[in-house]
Amino acid sequence: NVLILDFGSQYTQLIARRVRELNIFCEIFPYNHIPQDLSAYKAVILSGSPFSVRGDDAPHPDLSQIRGKMPLLAVCYGAQYLAHFNGGEVAPSNTREYGRANLSYIKSGEDFFHEVLENSQVWMSHSDTIKKLPDGGVLLASTHDVENAAYRIEGETTYAIQYHPEVFHSTDGTKMLYNFLVKIAHVPQNFTPNAFVDEIVSEMQQKIGGDKVVLGLSGGVDSTVAAVLLNKAIGKNLYCIFVNNGLLRKNEFENVLHQYKDMGLNVKGVDATARFMDALAGISDPELKRKAIGRVFIEVFDDEAHQLEDVKWLAQGTIYPDVIESVSVKGPSATIKSHHNVGGLPDFMKLQIVEPLRMLFKDEVRRVGKTLGIDPELLGRHPFPGPGLSIRILGDITLEKVRILQEVDAVFIDGLKSWGLYDKVWQAGAILLPVNSVGVMGDERTYEKVVALRAVESTDGMTADWVHLPYDFLMKVSNDIINKVRGVNRVVYDISSKPPATIEWE
């Protein structure tokens, strides 16, 4: 188990992901909440930071229980922090120290650089530089512009590097993390999907015992994997509820419900389309749509849960990035849209919460899902927003508009699949615009709806680029949509990136 102390760097989660790729379990804590009991940790990594160690507001944690007592790797700010307060010197740098650089000098015979060759490319991102190493500092590597790019402290297993090994452009970054964690700190590489499943299943069994658990399935990856894990742990005491809000993709409710039953889940499908449509009638404002949907979802879910007797737990598919976000150095980041799932527990359901995936990143959830034998197609699904097609129908929502958009979306998504493009895209969908445009079909003038297609590349949805889909594909899909979907006579493709646009249009 590895402890990562976060000083607020944009790359901290990336460090954790790289460590996990080595099958080593790690947890992120903010620098101002260091766990009291460190006995479970075999090594500590200090992250980078937007702060300067010379600033008055700079993070200044007490590392006396860590430094010299256990293997420590300090990255960027961490490296400067160790230098600045221990007899070294940190000053603003004269030259630009951002971007790619090469390790022009590497001290030979050092485990940290085992199998790393001179000239190895690393990624720099800092405006201060270490002018003088701290007491006991031994220089391990330099670049052309940065003399003190890596050092260790004599007599300790303390290592410090100015560059970011976690960033993809640091070519040997993962190797250096491996050298530090495995060769130097001897941390076992035993965090595999199979080991996780065994451990979490027995943990859930102990925690839940013979109690009943209720879980809302959404058709998405997280809730599905959470359900299958809990099903393995407690079987029929898990009651799943899958609500159709009428805003899912075409045939999604029926197909996914069928799949869930095939997987042996104890699931009840609830078609609440009418309730959602009533609540949405006449609403055009995106945030009001989200609120209406959130409210009705809770009502429907609660009605269903009340029909089950003696339920003690509510299971949720929360994953690690949400957990980190909620305890982060900066605090939960401001929500631009009122998203991200209907929000915790409704007050009137006094249930205890169980979150089997709370320590996993998304790609790990998929790997665990694969180990559990879940259909790869289900695991590879694009993300789909909780409010569904309602936020892809600009303006007010009617059943007819939902039908049109479902048809358009199905042509687009099926097309991506049959052209082998689906897995190359992070998320895709269609948007129904609130305008009509003139067209001509046969000899007749038409005046019908415009739809926009959107396909983006992303890793976490925070930033995104539009995908350069082949023109031939766009031509075919546009033709199919206009020919097959009544009510649509024009198709456009969204070529905006996020930022400044967002992925959804509402």
491 closest CA partner among 369, 403, 407:
407
Q: Which is nearer to ligand XMP, 337 or 476 (CB)?
A: 337
User: Is 84 considered catalytic here?
Assistant: no
User: Is 76 considered catalytic here?
Assistant: yes
In the complex, least distance from residue 377 CB atom to ligand XMP, rounded to whole angstroms: 19
Q: Which is nearer to ligand XMP, 223 or 341 (CB)?
A: 341
Cβ contact 123:170 at 8 Å: yes
What letter would DSSP give residue 263? T
Q: Which is nearer to ligand XMP, 5 or 256 (CB)?
A: 256
In the complex, least distance from residue 380 CB atom to ligand XMP, rounded to whole angstroms: 15
Tokens of 266: 């104890």
Strands 121-125 and 98-106: antiparallel
Catalytic position from the list 84, 97, 126, 164: 164
What is the b/e burial string over 26-62, where b = at least 16 CB atoms within 10 angstroms of the residue's CB?
A: bbbbbbeebeeeeeebbbbbbbbbebbbeeeeebeee
Catalytic position from the list 76, 97, 240, 448: 76
User: Is 186 considered catalytic here?
Assistant: no
Phi, psi of 227 (to 5 degrees): -65, -45
Cβ contact 381:220 at 8 Å: yes
In the complex, least distance from residue 456 CB atom to ligand XMP, rounded to whole angstroms: 8
Q: Which is nearer to ligand XMP, 132 or 339 (CB)?
A: 339
Cβ contact 408:430 at 8 Å: yes
Enumerate binding residues for ligand XMP (CB under 6 A): 290, 337, 339-341, 383, 385-387, 427, 461, 498, 502-504
Catalytic position from the list 97, 126, 166, 304: 166
234 closest CA partner among 114, 356, 333:
356
Please tell me the distance from the alpha carbon of residue 177 to that of residue 20, in angstroms, as a whole number.
Answer: 11
Please tell me the distance from the alpha carbon of residue 405 to that of residue 422, in angstroms, as a whole number.
Answer: 19
In the complex, least distance from residue 177 CB atom to ligand XMP, rounded to whole angstroms: 29
26 closest CA partner among 73, 63, 87:
73
Cβ contact 40:131 at 8 Å: no
In the complex, least distance from residue 227 CB atom to ligand XMP, rounded to whole angstroms: 18
Which residues touch 133 (CB under 8 Å, ≥6 apart)?
83, 88, 139, 148, 151
Q: Which is nearer to ligand XMP, 46 or 430 (CB)?
A: 430
Please tell me the distance from the alpha carbon of residue 357 to that of residue 341, in angstroms, as a whole number.
Answer: 16
In the complex, least distance from residue 294 CB atom to ligand XMP, rounded to whole angstroms: 9
Q: Which is nearer to ligand XMP, 136 or 383 (CB)?
A: 383
In the complex, least distance from residue 347 CB atom to ligand XMP, rounded to whole angstroms: 21
Tokens of 201: 């299943």
Q: Which is nearer to ligand XMP, 164 or 290 (CB)?
A: 290
DSSP secondary structure string for all residues of 390-455: GGGB-S---HHHHHHHHHHHHHHHHHHHHTT-GGG-SEEEEEEEEEEEEEEETTEEEEEEEEEEEE
Q: Which is nearer to ligand XMP, 68 or 383 (CB)?
A: 383
In the complex, least distance from residue 407 CB atom to ligand XMP, rounded to whole angstroms: 20
Place of tokens 């995908």: 467
77 closest CA partner among 45, 48, 44, 46:
48
As annotated, the active-site residues are 76, 164, 166
